Amino acid sequence: MSGMLKKEDESEKAVTLEDQKKINQFSRLLNEKLELQSFLSVRKELLQLYEDASDELTLAEDDEKVQFAVGDAFILTAKDEAEETVEQCKTEIVRTMEESQKEYDKRVESMTKLKTELYGKFGNSINLEEEA
C-alpha cells in the first residue's frame, strides 16, 4: 500500500487550474518518456542484430554471394553490397537513436522541473514517482 498517503502527508492546498495543467503535462511527458524508452530499447536490439550481421559478413569470402533478408524473403547479393546496406542501416539506426535520446533527455528535464514545482507546493500529498 505504498500508494496510500499517511494522514500527516495530506495537504489542504487547493489545486488550481494552473496546477492541474502542470499535473497533466507531467503525465503526458511521462507517457512520452516511456514510449521513447521502449523505442530506444527496440532500436538497441536492432542495432545489435546489424552488428552481428556485420561480423558475420566479415567472415565471408570477398567473391562469395550472401543471403540478404528483404522483408520475408532472402536474396543472393554480393558481399560488398550486403556490407554497404548493413552499414547504411546501422548509421540510420544510430542517427534515430541519437535524436530519440535527445528527446528523451528533454522529457526528463521538463519532468524534473515540474516535479520540483509540484512537490514544492503539495509536498508529499502528490505522488509523481514512477511505479516500478
pLDDT in tens, 12-71: 778 899 999 999 999 999 999 999 999 999 999 999 999 999 999 999 888 889 998 888
Q: Cα 90 vs. chain centroid, distance in angstroms?
A: 17
Q: Which fold would CATH assign to domain 16-125? A: Helix Hairpins (1.10.287)
* CA–CA separation, 106 and 124 (whole Å): 25
Contacts of 39 (CB under 8 A, 6+ apart): 100
Q: Model-level pTM?
A: 0.80
- The cell numbers describing 103, all together, are 528527446
Distance, in Å, from the CA atom of 104 to the CA atom of 29, rounded to the nearest integer, reads 9
The domains of the chain are located at: 16-125
pLDDT class of 130 with cuts at 50, 70, 90: confident
Cell of 68: 540478404
